[in-house]
Amino acid sequence: MAEVPDCIFCKIAAGEIPAKIEHADEDIVAFHDINAAAPVHLLVIPRRHIASLAETTDAEAPLLGRIVSVARQLAAKFELDSGYRVVINCREDGGQSVPHIHLHLLGGRRLGWPPG
Ligand code: 5GP
Ligand code: ZN
């Protein structure tokens, strides 16, 4: 799907809203979360608008794999050698607040578990 009007992350991917970009390729963009929950808190998104993980199919498996690979590369770039967490919140009960699929990369401190 092309850019969706009023989607914040479509606009960030298109360069229409500023963000601190850490990775950009043909299909994927990664940037710092505006409200960081950890010393390193990045969001990895596909440029293509997909509302949530629940809207993906097996056809998106390669794209999802590449999103996870970008997260791994960024974790190495930010020297999160003692560990980190990747999270995809999905829909209301998962706590998703922006309806454009995104993977959180969190690190730089010891993270608690389980989540609330
Ligand atoms: P969710 O709650 O949907 O899993 O995560 C959405 C994340 O996007 C939140 O951590 C929130 O701080 C971040 N966020 C929301 N709006 C913006 C924005 O305009 N720019 C950036 N960089 N992050 C945003
Ligand atoms: Zn979007």
What are the structural domain ranges in the chain? 8-107
Yes or no: domain 8-107 corresponds to CATH 3.30.428.10: yes
Q: pLDDT (tens digit, 0 to 9) for every residue of the chain, 116 residues total?
A: 567 889 999 999 999 999 999 999 999 999 999 999 999 999 999 999 999 999 999 999 999 999 999 999 999 999 999 999 999 999 999 999 999 999 999 999 999 999 98
- The protein residue whose alpha carbon is closest to atom 13 in ligand 1 is 33
From the CA of 20, the nearest ligand is 1
- Which value, in Å, is the radius of gyration of the alpha carbons in the chain? 14
The residues annotated with a catalytic role in the active site are 102
**H/E element, 64:** helix 61-77
For 22, the token pair is: 């850490």
Contact assessment for residue 44 and residue 72, using Cβ atoms and an 8 Å cutoff: no
Closest CA to 70 of 105, 107, 110: 105
Sequence letter at residue 64: L
Q: List, chain by chain if needed, residues with CB within 6 Å of any ligand 1 atom.
A: 8, 19, 31-35, 43, 89, 95-98
Q: Ligand 1 center to residue 83 CA distance, Å?
A: 22
Q: Ligand 2 center to residue 84 CA distance, Å?
A: 26
Q: Ligand 2 center to residue 82 CA distance, Å?
A: 32
Sequence letter at residue 116: G
Q: Model's pTM, two decimal places?
A: 0.98
Beta bridge partners of 29: 24, 45
Choosing from 10, 11, 23, 35 the residue with most ligand 1 atoms within 8 A of its CB, the one to mutate for a pocket test is 35
